[in-house]
Amino acid sequence: MHWTILLKSDPEAKGNPVLHGLRMAASALADEVEISIFLSQEAISLAFQDEHAGAKQKVQQDLIHELQELGARIFVVGLEWLHQTEKSLLNASIEAASMKTLIRQMKMSDQVIPL
């Protein structure tokens, strides 16, 4: 079984949808579900090294690293980030992806969860 989780909310958003998505991914991995996470729109900020990240973002980035260690693949998708920063600033093991990659992943997934 494979799930694609599309995180597009602001990491600082009320209700913590990004954190809930990451926690759901961890639970699914523990239940032997293969996970791919795509960071898009407002959640793109989690893909980059940021010394000034808020407390919520640091917790979320730590959880992303744990998910990667457990086997989740993390992607960042969207053209706007490419023009704003250098690709070399991406956090380790986060892959740059295109919309084509996202669509292909969604097609092969048993579940697609946008947050």
* pLDDT computed for residue 47 by the predictor: 87
* pLDDT computed for residue 86 by the predictor: 56
Q: At what angle do helices 55-69 and 17-30 cross, to 10 degrees?
A: 20
Q: Report the greatest alpha carbon distance in the chain.
A: 38
CA distances from 18 to 80, 109, 114 (A): 20, 20, 10
Q: Can you tell me the mean pLDDT for 34-43?
A: 94
Quick one: DSSP state of residue 70? T
Confidence of residue 78 (pLDDT cuts 50, 70, 90): confident
Q: Can you tell me the mean pLDDT for 14-22?
A: 94
What are the structural domains of the chain?
2-114 (3.40.1260.10)
What phi and psi, each to the nearest 5 degrees, are found at residue 74? -115, 130
Indicate if the pLDDT at residue 92 is higher than 90: no
Confidence of residue 27 (pLDDT cuts 50, 70, 90): very high
* pLDDT computed for residue 110 by the predictor: 96
Pairing of strands 94-97, 111-114: unpaired
Tokens 């940021």, residue located: 50
